[in-house]
Amino acid sequence: MADEVPVGRRVAYWRKRRSMSQQLFADRLGKSKSWLDKVERGVRRLDKFSVLQEIADSLRIDVALLLPEGQAPQPVGPTTLIDLGDLDAVQAALERYEQVGLCPAPAPPPLADVRKSVRHAWLTFQHGRYPVLVRAVPKLLRDTQAVELAYRVPAERITETAHLHGQAYLVASTVLRKLGHHRLAWIAADRAMVIAGRAGDKLLTGLAAGHAGQALLGLDRPRSALEITTLAATALAPGGATYPEHISVYGHLLLQAALAAATIGDSVSVYGLLGSAGEAAADLADDANHLWTAFGPTNLALHQAAAAVQLGDGERAIRIHQKIDPDLLTALPAERRANHQLTLAHAYAQIGAVDRAGDALLLGDRLAKAEIRCRPMAHAVITDVLRGTRGTPPAPVAALAEQMGVGI
């Protein structure tokens, strides 16, 4: 679509792509058909971030697709944990091309410092501290690129520096996807895949494929996401005894493929993929965190619940949750636990238990604020909670909605 196309016409375009009438889509938004008609004709402007995000979530697209290229929605007030200037800096870092000599390469920092920085970035992500990570990503990309360019001998050194460089792109892709910037997330994952191919790093290639699949899923390309993750999983399928990092990447790919299949509605593939992931998880001694995948039996259960929600079976997701050992769940990274609470909130909303959904969102917010307050999916779920609540919502839920910029 051309960049000059007005926002209202973009809404109409995507609504028709989803085969929804104006009345049906207006009902989903809790608006009148007249309101939607005015929006699509450009009579009524869409200049409120929460409304734009709600429309994008209902259409299952990145909010950026509703806006001209380069124009970002600007949330205001207490809803914003992420500084828009920091996101601009991440995009600028993705637009640099030192690798092919188009920009002067910065002096490389000590390799030991870069190792620590990559590790710290992943720990920051797994603690759910997305604002801190977004601020760190541009320098991380520059530093890892600089060391890959500088340290080219001996051969094992270039293998390590390429892996660090690829990991930097993967952590950038992950946090961008969490924040709903799926196009940038896909670019970062694609860069990691190029680096992995250049270095002949099969595990990094698999990880990059998994992240690319997640980004494609956010871009409403579930079949492409399913294809890339299943192909990568097949390429890494263990043919006997292998090491934990290999099993973890293989299992991670199967989980991402299962979520893509669930988005399509292919329940047979979902359960087949989850079954294979279960066999891989059984080969690990515990809920390890090899190569930052957090892959293991408990994270498998979390993905089983997420796939059930995606298939519209909230009751099944809740049953899966009830069987998870609380101690094992507590041992997972804060991001995983908060994400699971978001899954539960969605499941409870599906079955009409909006009070329990609100409780799950509040618990997720206590575990990792950014996982709830910054994610488009959480905005959609809390909107469902508010609409489904009879009378005035509980004060903590109302306060969280206000902090997220979601109107009651």
Task: Tell me how far the alpha carbon of residue 167 is from its chain's centroid.
Answer: 16
Residues 6+ positions from 370 with CB-CB distance below 8 Å: 81, 82, 128, 129, 130, 131, 178
Percent of the chain with pLDDT over 90: 60
Judge contact between 73 and 53, C-beta under 8 A. Answer: yes
Whole-number pLDDT of residue 39: 87
Parts of the chain with a pLDDT under 50: 1-3, 70-79
Residue-wise DSSP of 142-163: HHHHHHHHH---SHHHHHHHHH
**Prior bond of 154 cis (ω within 30°):** yes
pTM > 0.85: yes or no: no
Q: Go through the domains of the chain in sequence order and give each one's CATH number.
A: 1-80 (1.10.260.40), 82-219 (no CATH)
- Return the amino acid letter for 301: A
pLDDT of 16-74, one tens digit each? 877 888 888 888 887 888 888 888 888 787 766 667 777 887 787 767 777 765 444 44
Whole-number pLDDT of residue 259: 97
d(CA 156, CA 294): 26
Cα–Cα distance list, 333 to 295, 326, 376, 377 (Å): 11, 13, 21, 20
3-state secondary structure at position 72: coil
Whole-number pLDDT of residue 238: 84
pLDDT of 338-373, one tens digit each? 999 999 999 999 999 999 999 999 999 999 999 999
Whole-number pLDDT of residue 3: 45
Judge contact between 320 and 278, C-beta under 8 A. Answer: no
Residue-wise DSSP of 170-228: HHHHHHHHHTT-HHHHHHHHHHHHHHHHHHT-HHHHHHHHHHHHHHHHHTT-HHHHHHH
